[in-house]
Structure 1
Amino acid sequence: MVDIAHQAAINPASARSAATTRALVPLTSVDAGQWRALAQRAVEPNGYYLPGWMFAVSATARGRTDAAVLPVFDRSSTRLIGLMPVISLWRAWKIPLPALVSAHPYGTLCSPLLDERDAIEAATRLLQQAREAGAHALILRDVALDGAAMRSLSEALGRDRLKPRVLSSYIRASLDATQDGERMLREALGARKLKELRRQRHRLEEHGPVVFEIARRPDEIGPALETFLQLEASGWKGKRGTALAQDAGDAAFIRRAVLALAETAQCEIVTLRAGTSPVAAGIVLRHQDRAFFFKLGIDEHFAKCSPGVQLTLELTRHLCGDPAITSADSTASADHPMINPIWRGRFAIGDVLIPLRRHDPVVALIHAALAGRNAAYEAARRVVRRLRK
């Protein structure tokens, strides 16, 4: 069920009416078939808002369970044309103001799903659903600022003479998979760096033939996932306690999600082996013509051979050779030291405040609260960087 306390935090007076109109519904109540059909028609791919992924997140993932959804139907109320998983502003950041925040899907992309057949209408109705749920604003986290979903929302807002406000942004790496993989790698890395990487690969070959494996089918993806989980937990993420296998909820989520997406050919696990030893593995989601590089795990005993880079080189060749894929989102942080030199495409990701009412003092309060939070966060990051130096 939708958490009534969270709904009341949005607007206590409207909690009952919102439940009646079903503007805000439990994520698990959305028909999976309708959701899958919408995902196939979505104006912008988002592998992290596929139903198999989000059902698994909402069921068990640490700190991400029990999300709600703003569902949007066409005029006949029979076809799902828009969908955005959300939580309250209170649940997201302990701010007691009436706003909804895109639910974080255990992946750094929260662009909502809007039907490409009428994306503007879907966006308009999504905003109205949020109003009916009692929200004065929507906060989209990690949205593609120049993506089709954000453009549709901006146009829908413009009809009401409203404008989105970018709260924060960064640039992250992407891959143009329509290029020839080998040529792209030569242009990105240069002859000298490629020569060094070939030398490191030869060092890996001292442990046995280096093989790049791709697991797609449900019967093969399960064992490949266990290999990935072991690699991730063996490295620095394991030391920090942030590896997926170290939390029962996270481990249950990823096992359920990967198997669910394998059933619809929307997930693959890539593994690099040196002889019998797996040295690196990664999870890749697929939605429409786009791939999403979710996570990477390596065996740090082979660190001098750059196993993560070696795997990414093979993944780049694989994606560039796949006619079904035209681009790949690294889903990495800004200035990521491993992926940025290899994938040279760039696009803007940001957090966006979408006001739902004109001249609304509550929206000003929400904006001020978020700006204060962001300023405190950046100040803390600067202190941490100084301490590390």
Structure 2
Amino acid sequence: MSIVDPLPRSLGPAPTKTAINVRFMRYNELLALVPRWETLIDRCPWRNPCYEPEFLLSLLRAIDIGSVRVMVAERGNELVGLMPIATKQQFHLPIRIAETWRPDEAFDATPLLDSFWAGDALQACFKSLRRHGFHLLSLNTVSANPEFVSVFQTATTATSLAYFTRDQFQRAALRPAGGAEEYFQRVLSKNRRKKFSRALKSLESRGTVRFETAAVPAQARDWMEVFLDLEASGWKGNASTAFASEDDSLSFFLDMIGRLIDSEKLHITRLTVNRNPIAMLIDIRSADHVACYKTAFDERYSQYSPGALLEWHNVRRMFDQGVSLCDSCGDPDNELLNALYNERLDFQHLIVSLDRWTNFIPKRVLPALQWIKRRLPSQRGNESTPKG
């Protein structure tokens, strides 16, 4: 959820120029960096919860098998840039490619950069990767908002590096303003509003229906276990994509949730019938921004659309929580979320050359390889189809 602040900060006089140094760190070294890391988050013009300490440290501890290094850019004692880096194979090219790390558990790979030093920090990171033998940097699922695009383009222009935009997509989002009822009247069709109301009334025929949000840390920890059971009982469990399906993903979830609860950055909301939870939703909060991270529902109640009812309630909740922007974290083609959330966040996959000698790759080779990759399936399909 790399989200741009809607209003620029008053930054005061520009500080004096000091060299930016880049180094690579592992999990244990990062623990001592947390206070400066939090300061960097406050000075970054966009938000990315996946690279904040609670999320990233849990990923490194549970998911990383030792291949990820976190690149940090420092200006004296100031932390001015941070991004986890992994080695990536791209288009089967026989060269070393670095990528901003985004495992399946994460939803954003936009680097954290200090608003004062964003361009300088990014240039220093390019230079450091080049010194470590990398020829390309892949930034997969990074913000396409104007602030990040401007920083990225300034950095590549200043270093005469070429880049290729491989993919672009949008995610549903919400900027609460005014009242929830007025919002729903404006963005939802009359037919859809009636469907929500009918589903809720039908569910109420089964017993007492409540929407609840965990009020204290102990309650959130208890609900976390219920969420895991609920998720594993449905299609995610059958597809082995639930957090409880794999030891490493379960370890990540438990560690991450615990850290977020301790930092008061986690909201767990549930829908119950006769006190039995039938749908649950996890939100991650970063200042006044929210990412709707994961949902789960009891498939035995599918006819009442419990997941949709909880999403509907959660959007209503955002209007009462002082939230300036909410990322749905949903797939671009999720019809329900695209209807409930009337804004869109732009994302992209960028691949940048790290030295002038390989500029021809993002300029010519990658566009050609992508064209071939997209063309071949249709050609094969045409060849295998009998002509009548």
Query: TM-score band (shorter)?
Result: 0.7 to 0.9
Q: CA 1:162 to 1:95, structure 2 compared with 1: closer, same or farther past 3 Å?
A: closer
| Structure 1 residue corresponding to 2:36, chosen from 34, 37, 53 | 34
Higher helix share: 1
**1:53 aligned counterpart, secondary structure:** helix
Displacement of 1:139 in angstroms is: 0.6
Indicate the residue corresponding to 2:74 in structure 1. Answer: 73
CA separation in 2, counterparts of 1:330 and 1:374? 33
Indicate the residue corresponding to 1:304 in structure 2. Answer: 303
Indicate the residue corresponding to 1:330 in structure 2. Answer: 328
Q: Which moved more, 1:343-352 or 1:24-33?
A: 24-33
Pairwise mapping of residues 29-68 of structure 1 onto structure 2 (< 5 A)?
29-30=29-30, 31-61=33-63, 66-68=67-69
Pairwise mapping of residues 359-370 of structure 1 onto structure 2 (< 5 A)?
359-360=357-358, 363-364=361-362, 368=366
Indicate the residue corresponding to 1:133 in structure 2. Answer: 132
- The answer on whether the counterparts of 1:176 and 1:345 sit within 8 Å (CA) in structure 2 is yes
Indicate the residue corresponding to 2:284 in structure 1. Answer: 285
- The answer on whether the counterparts of 2:327 and 2:345 sit within 8 Å (CA) in structure 1 is no
Q: CA 1:377 to 1:300, structure 2 compared with 1: closer, same or farther past 3 Å?
A: farther
Residue deviations 1:50-96 (CA, integer Å, cap 9, x gap): 111111111113x676521111001x2x1111001110124x88754
Indicate the residue corresponding to 2:181 in structure 1. Answer: 182
AA in 1 matched with 2:349: D
Indicate the residue corresponding to 1:25 in structure 2. Answer: 25
Displacement of 1:165 in angstroms is: 1.7
Q: Which runs of 5 or more structure 2 residues have no equivalent in the other structure?
A: 1-20, 382-388
Quote the RMSD (CA, aligned, Å): 2.8
Q: CA 1:179 to 1:217, structure 2 compared with 1: closer, same or farther past 3 Å?
A: same
Pairwise mapping of residues 1-389 of structure 1 onto structure 2 (< 5 A)?
23-30=23-30, 31-61=33-63, 66-74=67-75, 76=76, 78-90=77-89, 96-105=94-103, 106-146=105-145, 148-215=147-214, 217-323=216-322, 325-360=323-358, 363-364=361-362, 368=366, 371-372=369-370, 375=373, 379=377
Indicate the residue corresponding to 2:12 in structure 1. Answer: none
Q: CA 1:65 to 1:204, structure 2 compared with 1: closer, same or farther past 3 Å?
A: farther
**2:241 aligned counterpart, secondary structure:** coil
- The answer on whether the counterparts of 2:164 and 2:366 sit within 8 Å (CA) in structure 1 is no
**1:282 aligned counterpart, secondary structure:** strand
Q: CA 1:244 to 1:190, structure 2 compared with 1: closer, same or farther past 3 Å?
A: same
**1:280 aligned counterpart, secondary structure:** strand
Q: Which runs of 5 or more structure 1 residues have no equivalent in the other structure?
A: 1-20, 384-389
AA in 1 matched with 2:286: H
Q: CA 1:58 to 1:96, structure 2 compared with 1: closer, same or farther past 3 Å?
A: farther
Q: Which moved more, 1:222-231 or 1:126-135?
A: 126-135
Displacement of 1:132 in angstroms is: 2.8
CA separation in 2, counterparts of 1:369 and 1:28? 40
AA in 2 matched with 1:329: D
CA separation in 1, counterparts of 2:174 and 2:159? 36
Query: For the pair shown, which has the larger CA radius of gyration, 1 or 2?
Result: 2
Indicate the residue corresponding to 1:9 in structure 2. Answer: none
CA separation in 2, counterparts of 1:146 and 1:157? 17
Displacement of 1:345 in angstroms is: 0.9
Q: Which moved more, 1:298-307 or 1:139-148?
A: 139-148
AA in 1 matched with 2:52: L
Q: CA 1:88 to 1:27, structure 2 compared with 1: closer, same or farther past 3 Å?
A: farther
Indicate the residue corresponding to 2:11 in structure 1. Answer: none
Q: CA 1:210 to 1:96, structure 2 compared with 1: closer, same or farther past 3 Å?
A: farther
Percent identity, aligned pairs only? 23
AA in 2 matched with 1:84: M
**2:118 aligned counterpart, secondary structure:** helix
CA separation in 1, counterparts of 2:274 and 2:368? 51
Displacement of 1:250 in angstroms is: 0.7
How many aligned positions are there? 357
**1:177 aligned counterpart, secondary structure:** coil
- The answer on whether the counterparts of 1:266 and 1:285 sit within 8 Å (CA) in structure 2 is yes
CA separation in 1, counterparts of 2:164 and 2:68? 24
Q: Which moved more, 1:284-293 or 1:306-315?
A: 284-293
CA separation in 1, counterparts of 2:38 and 2:65? 21
- The answer on whether the counterparts of 2:214 and 2:268 sit within 8 Å (CA) in structure 1 is yes
Displacement of 1:39 in angstroms is: 1.7
Q: CA 1:366 to 1:215, structure 2 compared with 1: closer, same or farther past 3 Å?
A: farther
**2:281 aligned counterpart, secondary structure:** strand
Indicate the residue corresponding to 1:4 in structure 2. Answer: none
